[in-house]
Amino acid sequence: MSFPFLPSGWCRRLLGFFAGCLLLLLDVTATERARRLVMAAEGEPAVHAALAALPPEGGIVELGAGTFRITHPIILDRDGVELRGQGVETKLVLGPKANCPVVIIGREGTRPDRLVRRVTVRLLFIDGNRAEQEFECWGGPCDEQGRTAIRNNGITIRGAEDVLVEDVSTVHARSGGIVLEKHCRRIRLARVEAYENEFDGVAAYETEDSEFTALNLHRNRSAGFSFDWRFNRNRVTDCNASDNGSQGIFMRDSIWNVFERLTLNNNGEQGIFMAETRELPGTACRYNRFSKVTVTGNRTQGIRINDRSCNPNTIEDSLVRGNRLEDVSLADFGQLEIVRPREN
């Protein structure tokens, strides 16, 4: 095709413009076909039905404002799926004695049979209603059989890659706020608030190459963050973990992680606790770097490194002051390199 009244360069640009418009139109059409809107009045069954109705390539299930009573987890176990609400106006509230997680990203088998990829959860308020749950685990006492290996968290992410959770609050879970497990990679949590959960605000096990940014974890009964097994090469930035029952950050078996611009104060025990799992050799915390961290007012130590094997680690440009027992407590001399300590 040519336009004799235009220079050849303009012809190519015009054809490129038309082709771009066509591709954009096709993309918008595909997105519209893959979108399902569920209103609160339709209830939980409509959410499960909308997810099941998405095409093989995935799509979006959008929840309207209002309260959705949950009696069975919302399970996102297919690739390319997004669950989206309207912010705090969209509430997922676990029903009495439901004894299950609210949202699961990944497969529900005790050992996930495959990885789930490219899942997004955003703009939701999740209430685990812990006061009306009987068990910490799905359907009964933990780890007895089947689903009881899965804790009743606000969001459980298991065996997943390239997942985004953003602009979400998760509160009152019978176990943790958000928990990653069973080999997770490239997970991003952004602008998440977790409070008044029975155990940790955010916990991550077998998690690599992931990012946690702008998280506010407070008033959880255990730790703000818990990194307890194979937590490697991750980045935690611009977060607050304060007023939690035990630590701001609890770490074991964690290597090559970066923590920047964190506030860890008024926690019931340490601001940062690092150790090894003594029954498992090779599970020390090593090569972790803390930068521009504020650790103040914690009720035992600001930083406690509990085992000699946790060496080396570095803290730089940080303020560690005014913690009740000690500011820095080490199991062995030289475990923590302190660079350019801040005075205020």
User: pLDDT tens digits, the chain, 344 residues: what are they?
Assistant: 433 433 444 444 434 444 444 444 434 444 454 899 999 999 999 999 999 999 999 999 999 999 999 999 999 999 999 999 999 999 999 999 999 999 999 999 888 899 999 999 999 999 999 999 999 999 999 998 889 999 999 999 999 999 999 999 999 999 999 999 999 999 999 999 999 999 999 999 999 999 999 999 999 999 999 999 999 999 999 999 999 999 999 999 999 999 999 999 999 999 999 999 988 889 999 999 999 999 999 999 999 999 999 999 999 999 999 999 999 999 999 899 999 999 98
Q: Around Cβ 2, how many Cβ atoms within 10 Å? A: 8
d(CA 284, CA 159): 24
The 3-state DSSP class for residue 5 equals coil
Q: Return phi, psi of residue 47, to 5°.
A: -65, -50
Burial class for 317, CB neighbours closer than 10 Å (0-12, 13-18, 19+): middle
- The number of angstroms, rounded, from the C-alpha of 25 to the middle of its chain's C-alpha atoms is 34
What would the two tokens of residue 269 be? 């025990």
Burial class for 64, CB neighbours closer than 10 Å (0-12, 13-18, 19+): middle
Contact in structure between 122 and 166 (CB atoms under 8 Å): yes
The 3-state DSSP class for residue 111 equals coil
DSSP for residue 145:
S
What would the two tokens of residue 264 be? 């860890």
DSSP for residue 253:
S
Q: What is the pTM of this model?
A: 0.90
DSSP for residue 161:
E
What lies within 8 Å, CB to CB, of 265 at 6+ separation is 242, 243, 248, 271, 294, 295, 296, 297, 298
